[in-house]
Structure formats: structure tokens, C-alpha cells
């Protein structure tokens, strides 16, 4: 090739490569089909385009070192759903169960380990309303006032909650108090769970609870029926009833001062009263005691059907404090009841007028210890033993040990 033609060819090739290497804006060429480097991706639950999501769903991040900081959840009509982060920012909890068979859009904001803010938007759809649902009953009334030992007691129906499912359920039982006091849950059985503070509630405490069971998977293919909310108050006056089998005396204390003593007759040797710390569960000015409700026919030698006045329930199996005019002669001397604490009609009326549901009753010196779950037995054990009955790790001394959503 002649030198002139070789030089021209080289110049032409240089021009071609120059055009291939730069565009008009002078940017670096990107080969067709090549993708740009991807930005950070958050692993969000519920997962992208997930279906059949329980209406109890919480928004969370899976694994990694990112920290959840903000969640915006909207329904198909772009209506925002209220909610709060848990105290440990492990998830965001909607204020109410989501709607069944509904599509939602969620935008998650997180902070990376390097402090960078990351946003991500996904969509999911909730499940249809299930047929197999579990009821729950709360033994506390809204806006009511209770004694200092009042536990928060939830009874689960339709088979209750098996041990393997208790942690998931317990994480949805939110309790806060003003002033804040350490507390924990204790499972007496599959059907009963109790919450109490470490010590008796402080006078005037305001209790707020949300038991977020609506749509929650509770095991056995069942789902919680509905959420339960409560706001209650602890009385400013502290009352305690003490019953001593050795002296056959009942002592009533108010704010640590003795206000009344009275003779009693407790359970006979055949039907002894329980010893331990109990809680007044209900107050009845009139009722009928029927032995057949506890498996003893009325017409049997041990059977009875008796109208009574001024009764305060202590156990599920039928031990009460109540007026018993038929045993006045024995009160203060011998035990003749079927396990109840017998007092005179006058003294029974005084107790009925003085106490509140939630007041503690301490019985000592009888033959049989109160069994766990036979009534509200939260205070019949040490704090260390009580917290062992939780399905979650033992709480510390923080005032909000149960995993409750924060106010943010």
C-alpha cells in the first residue's frame, strides 16, 4: 500500500473510533444492552406483590443492617392507614386490622449502616375473610376503676393458644401505663394469660391496652376474631384483705392501716380453703350457690343450692367471701364451709360496700395452695417465677417491657 493511502486509512479509522467512543454530549459510551449499576434494595415484608396476607400484617425489613424509620401505607383509594413503629423499630404496626381482600401500597423509608436514606415502594393484597376464627374475652371494662392488684386477664376460646403459637400472640398484646411501670405476661394455660406489673399498681395508674388479635394467625388454621382496646384506672385507695386460719380472723387494711377485723369460718377439713394471694374477681349482692355447677349433685350428701348475699369471687371453682348467717356460731372458732370465707351478714355487707374488683385477698394457714389459673393468680408467685410464664424473653426493668408501638 502506498504511504499516502495508508495514512488516509489510519486517519479514517481514528475518526470512526472517536465517533464510537463519544456522543454529542461528550458522555461515556454505554454499550447497547448493558444495565446501569443497581441502587440499594430493601427486603420488605409483606413481600412485593404478595397475596393472601393476614390483615394483622406488620411492615418490616428482612435481615440486613438497614433500620426502619418511616412507613406510609395506603389502600386502593389512596387513603392513608395510621400506624406506629415498635419501640425497637423492628416493624411498623397498623393502628387497626387491615381490610380483608384489599390491595395496599407501602412506601418504606430506612437508614443504611452508612447513614444513607433509602426509599422503596411495594404492593400487596390481604386475604379473604377466614371462616375459622378465635374469640377472646377481656376481664376488664372500659373506663372502670379497679383495685391495686387488678391483672389484665384475657381468656381465649375455641381451643385457646398452643405453646408454639404463644409468642406470636403475646407480641400483639400491647400494654402501657401512666405512670410507666415494668410488667409482663404469664400464660396460666392455653386459654388464660395474665398481665401484671412487678409490684402492685401505683395509686391512680391509667392503664391502656390494645390486644391486636384481629386477623392474627393463632395456630391450627385459625385467626383472631377482632382487636380489643381498653382504658381503665387503678383506684387511689389501696385495700388489702388478710385472712388467717390460725386466728379465724379477717383483717381489712386501707392504705396500710387496719380499718376492721371480723371472725370467719373457712373450709372444713373435707373442703379446705386455698391459701395464697387471690384477687377479687366479681362482687355479687345476691346470687345462688349450686353444687351441681361444680359436679356435685344437689340431692347428694355433699350437695347444696343456697341463696347468698354479699359475695366476692376468689377462684373459678367457687371459693368466695360471703355472708353466711347459718355459720355465725362457728365463725372465729371452727371451719365448716365448703371452702368459702364465711362472715356474718353485717360484716358481709360492709366488705361488699368497701372492696373493689382487683383488690388482693391473702389467705394463710389452710391446707391447700391455690393452683395457677384457678382465678386470677398473677400475684400468687414471685416476680421471677411470673416472668418465666411469658412466651417472650424475660423483660428488664424498663417501664415498657412488652413490645408496644411507640408514639412516633
Catalytic site positions: 322, 340
Whole-angstrom distance, CA of residue 275 vs CA of residue 221 = 40
Whole-angstrom distance, CA of residue 198 vs CA of residue 192 = 19
Show the 3-state SS of 193-236: EEEEECCCCCCCCEEEEEECCCCCEEECCEEECCCEEEEEEECC
Contact status, residue 56 vs residue 97, Cβ threshold 8 Å: yes
The radius of gyration of the chain from alpha carbons, rounded to an integer in Å, stands at 33
Whole-angstrom distance, CA of residue 371 vs CA of residue 316 = 11
* CB contact set of 8 (below 8 Å; sequence gap of 6+): none
Whole-angstrom distance, CA of residue 91 vs CA of residue 73 = 13
Whole-angstrom distance, CA of residue 185 vs CA of residue 252 = 29
Q: How far from the centroid of its chain's Cα atoms is residue 14's Cα?
A: 76
Amino acid at each position: 500500500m502506498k504511504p499516502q493511502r495508508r495514512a488516509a486509512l489510519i486517519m479514517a479509522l481514528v475518526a470512526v473510533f472517536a465517533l464510537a467512543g463519544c456522543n454529542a454530549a461528550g458522555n461515556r459510551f454505554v454499550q447497547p444492552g448493558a444495565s446501569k449499576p443497581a441502587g440499594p434494595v430493601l427486603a420488605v415484608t409483606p413481600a412485593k406483590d404478595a397475596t393472601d396476607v393476614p390483615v394483622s400484617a406488620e411492615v418490616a425489613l428482612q435481615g440486613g443492617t438497614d433500620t426502619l424509620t418511616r412507613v406510609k401505607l395506603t389502600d386502593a383509594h389512596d387513603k392513608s392507614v395510621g400506624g406506629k413503629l415498635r419501640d425497637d423499630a423492628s416493624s411498623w404496626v397498623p393502628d387497626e386490622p387491615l381490610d380483608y381482600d384489599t390491595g395496599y401500597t407501602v412506601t418504606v423509608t430506612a437508614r443504611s449502616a452508612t447513614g444513607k436514606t433509602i426509599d422503596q415502594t411495594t404492593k400487596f393484597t390481604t386475604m379473604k375473610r377466614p371462616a375459622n376464627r378465635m374469640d377472646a374475652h377481656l376481664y376488664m371494662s372500659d373506663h372502670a376503676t379497679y383495685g391495686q392488684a387488678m391483672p389484665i386477664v384475657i381468656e381465649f376460646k375455641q381451643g385457646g393458644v398452643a405453646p408454639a403459637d404463644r409468642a406470636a400472640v403475646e407480641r400483639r398484646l400491647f400494654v402501657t401505663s401512666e405512670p410507666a411501670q415494668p410488667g409482663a405476661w404469664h400464660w396460666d394455660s392455653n386459654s388464660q394469660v395474665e398481665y401484671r406489673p412487678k409490684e402492685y399498681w401505683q395509686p391512680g395508674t391509667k392503664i391502656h391496652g390494645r390486644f391486636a388479635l384481629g386477623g392474627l394467625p393463632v395456630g391450627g388454621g385459625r385467626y383472631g376474631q377482632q382487636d380489643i382496646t381498653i382504658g381503665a384506672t387503678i383506684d387511689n385507695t389501696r385495700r388489702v384483705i388478710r385472712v388467717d386460719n390460725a386466728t379465724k380472723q379477717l383483717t381489712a387494711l386501707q392504705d396500710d392501716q387496719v380499718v376492721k377485723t371480723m371472725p370467719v369460718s373457712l373450709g372444713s377439713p373435707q373442703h379446705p380453703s386455698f391459701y395464697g394471694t387471690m384477687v377479687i374477681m366479681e362482687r355479687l349482692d345476691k346470687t345462688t350457690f349450686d353444687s351441681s355447677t361444680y359436679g356435685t349433685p344437689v340431692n347428694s350428701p355433699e350437695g347444696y343450692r343456697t341463696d347468698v348475699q354479699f359475695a366476692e369471687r376468689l377462684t373459678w371453682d367457687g371459693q368466695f367471701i360471703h355472708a353466711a348467717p347459718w355459720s355465725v356460731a362457728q365463725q372465729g372458732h371452727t371451719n365448716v364451709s365448703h371452702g368459702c370465707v364465711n362472715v356474718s351478714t353485717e360484716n358481709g355487707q360492709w366488705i361488699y360496700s368497701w372492696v373493689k374488683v382487683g383488690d388482693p385477698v391473702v389467705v394463710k394457714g389452710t391446707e391447700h395452695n391455690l393452683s395457677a389459673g384457678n382465678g386470677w393468680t398473677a400475684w400468687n408467685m414471685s416476680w421471677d417465677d411470673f416472668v418465666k410464664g411469658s412466651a417472650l424473653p424475660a423483660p428488664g426493668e424498663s417501664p415498657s417491657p412488652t413490645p408496644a408501638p411507640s408514639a412516633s
